[in-house]
Chain A
Amino acid sequence: MAKKTAYYGIFAALAILMGYVEAVIPMPVPIPGIKIGLSNIVVVLCMYVMGTKEAFYISIVRVIISALLFRGFVGLWYSLAGAFLSYGAMLAVHKLKDATIIGVSVTGGVFHNIGQIIVACIILGRSVVLYLIPVLMVSGVAAGFAIGIVSKYCLSYIEKRR
């Protein structure tokens, strides 16, 4: 139990820290919404190291705390939608026996972006930002792939040391 609590703390702290690092790095792209999704490394890893339920808690805690710390209330709805949708999609892929951490991460990246677009449409009351979906799907695949590779190496490192 104590070990599990410690893991929760470490993963949550790492996820929040990753979110901060990402907020500090400016993304030099003219299209809103393109990002790497560093904190997803932690969520994906958590899914494999601790379990799917635990990854869900970490994801929610991360979103709420980093919204309070760095982004504010509007950002919270945004991130929550992205986190919920991407978690759901990642869970589905995770359940498939033949998918690896890379497939999970790619799915997460894409659905995170889709979730955010949907909330942006609801908040703005206009469907205009939908045209960003194809671009953000491609960027989600690219970012998710990179995150997946990093997670894969982290995972084999963690598993060796357990």
Chain B
Amino acid sequence: MKKLDFIIIAVLLVCAGELYFSGILRPGSEGAYAVVYVDGEEVKKYDLSKNTDDTVTGINGTNQIRVQDGKISVVSADCRDQICVNHLPINRENESIVCLPHKVVIEIENGGKNSIDAVVQ
């Protein structure tokens, strides 16, 4: 291993850190709504303060989603990779759960909630 290898590793790690800490690509504050998109189109919106179970129909299959304790998650899906099911529940802006086979995206939106908290923090 030579010096240049260390430089490459350092540069890549610094870039990653820079992207994260500059805040461009980092989960934000807690959101109030979860919005579900199928193939880029908004199809449903959930209030995260209300517990619900629902079915989202994506391309070629469905995803069972659950809103609980202010977080949204996918409990089951008939896709082959199950990445969305393994994903942790989310509740922050910029976070998302994605089911690529069904082209389903769940995003968090902040409907003005917590703006006072954010200032206090």
- Listed in ascending order, the chain A residues whose CB lies under 8 Å from chain B are 30-32, 72, 74, 78, 93, 96, 98-100, 102-103, 106-107, 110, 120, 123-126, 128-131, 133-135, 137-138, 140-141, 145, 152
Contacts and interface: CB of A to CB of B under 8 A. Distances in A.
A128 B12 contact: no
Given A126-B37, A130-B25, A131-B27, A98 B98 contact: no
Interface string B33-51: 0000101100000000000
Interface of B: 1-5, 8-9, 12-13, 15-17, 19-20, 25-27, 37, 39-40, 80, 83, 86-88, 94-96, 98, 100-101, 103, 105, 107
Given A131-B27, A134-B17, A103 B9 contact: yes
A30 B86 contact: yes
Nearest 4 pairs of A and B residues by beta carbon: A125-B40, A137-B16, A103-B5, A134-B20
A140 B3 CA distance: 19
Given A32-B87, A129-B98, A141 B40 contact: no
Contact of A30 (B13, B88, B96): B88
A138 B86 CA distance: 20
B63 to A, nearest CB: 14
Contacts of B1: 100, 102-103, 152
Given A99-B8, A124-B103, A131-B27, 10 more contacts: A31-B87, A98-B2, A103-B4, A106-B9, A128-B94, A129-B96, A131-B26, A131-B95, A134-B17, A134-B19
A157 to B, nearest CB: 17
A106 B39 contact: no
A74 B86 CA distance: 19
Contacts of A129: 96, 98
A103 B37 contact: no
Given A32-B87, A100-B1, A133 B19 contact: yes
Contact of A141 (B12, B26, B27, B95): B12
B25 A131 contact: yes
Contact of A138 (B13, B25, B37): B13
Contacts of A107: 8, 12
A99 B1 CA distance: 8
Nearest to B10: A141
B30 to A, nearest CB: 15
Contacts of B13: 137-138, 141
A129 B4 CA distance: 31
A31 to B, nearest CB: 8
Given A30-B87, A123-B100, A124-B103, A133 B2 contact: no
